[in-house]
Amino acid sequence: MAIRNILKEDDETLRKISKPVIDFDERLWLLLDDMKETMYKKEGAGLSAVQVGVLKRAFVMHAGKEFRECINPKLIKQEGENKIKIEGCLSVPGKCGLVNRPEKVWVEYQDRNGNKISKKFTGFEAKCFCHEYDHLDGILYIDKATKIFNDRDEYNREKKNLEKENKQKKNN
């Protein structure tokens, strides 16, 4: 296993559409293992193959209770609006933004051996799945963000100000 370089937002590879995985072999397994190690080393919740320069429809995520490998994922249905708006990305370091994502998603994907899996994700897992899924179609969260912050401190200051304003409105 190895730590792979993560492409940054100005790399045109991130804007390309990834191709379906056909071969579920040792090369895929090595890629998935490297992606897992890279994601954990960089303290991410997910990482797509395109982010490490491989245009394959695959990503890894650990946004809930367990680590998942999602190959050839499909978004079947979505519902509601996720209350967790703040989002970041290993390919857009130092920034974060507000993104509207669904609260629940029903998905299908394959595991590293090609077995089909159907799941329902909610909350942070749903948000993470959608974020990584977008990468496979050349979409970055900054394309969907309603607001971008230069860092978490700027976000926290704005969040605090909004909460204060909302409290004042309720009291009036």
Rounded Cα distance, 90 and 44, in Å: 7
pTM here is: 0.91
Contact of 109 with 72, CB cutoff 8 Å:
yes
At the second CATH level, the architecture of 12-171 is Alpha-Beta Complex (3.90)
The whole-number pLDDT of residue 137 equals 98
Rounded Cα distance, 41 and 127, in Å: 21
Q: How confident is the model at residue 31 (pLDDT cuts 50, 70, 90)?
A: very high
Contact of 70 with 59, CB cutoff 8 Å:
yes
Name which residue leads in pLDDT, 84 or 140: 140
Find the mean pLDDT for residues 88-102: 95
Q: How confident is the model at residue 83 (pLDDT cuts 50, 70, 90)?
A: confident
Annotated catalytic residue, options 132, 154, 158, 165: 132
Single-letter code of the amino acid located at 38: T
The whole-number pLDDT of residue 88 equals 94
The answer to whether residue 84 scores a pLDDT higher than 90 is no
Q: Is 87 a catalytic residue?
A: no
Contact of 21 with 58, CB cutoff 8 Å:
yes
Find the mean pLDDT for residues 117-140: 97
